[in-house]
Amino acid sequence: MPKRAYIDVNADGLWALYAGDGSDDEPQVLAVGEAFEPGAPIREVMDALQAWADANDTVIIPPDYSKQDANFDDLFNDN
């Protein structure tokens, strides 16, 4: 059975692949990609991290737990 992992942007602004479901207090970094840049470069970074996961018996899933601190009211626009 493949190991679980999720993708997020690390503190240095780089895409990273983390082990688990996002519930760990100290996430385990499996692989680090390129710097976050909006637009077309995201696809290239995602493809590279997916290739790493495939080669290392890892399935990428959305994290079960949010890694971002967001105010509930900021998630909705009443316009």
Q: What is the pLDDT of residues 8-24, one digit of tens each?
A: 889 898 989 999 988 88
In a domain, residue 74? The reply is: no
13 in a domain, yes or no? yes
Question: Looking at the domain assignment, is residue 75 inside a domain?
Answer: no
Is 52 contained in some domain? yes
Overall domain count for the chain: 1
| pLDDT of 70 strictly over 60 | no
**Does residue 45 lie in a domain region?**
yes
Residue 65 has pLDDT above 60, yes or no: no
Structural domain containing residue 55:
3-63
Residue 68 lies in a domain: no
Which structure tokens are listed for 21?
């479901």
> Would you say the pTM of this structure is higher than 0.85?
no
Do the domain assignments include residue 12?
yes
Contact indicator for 20, 1 with CB cutoff of 8 Å: no
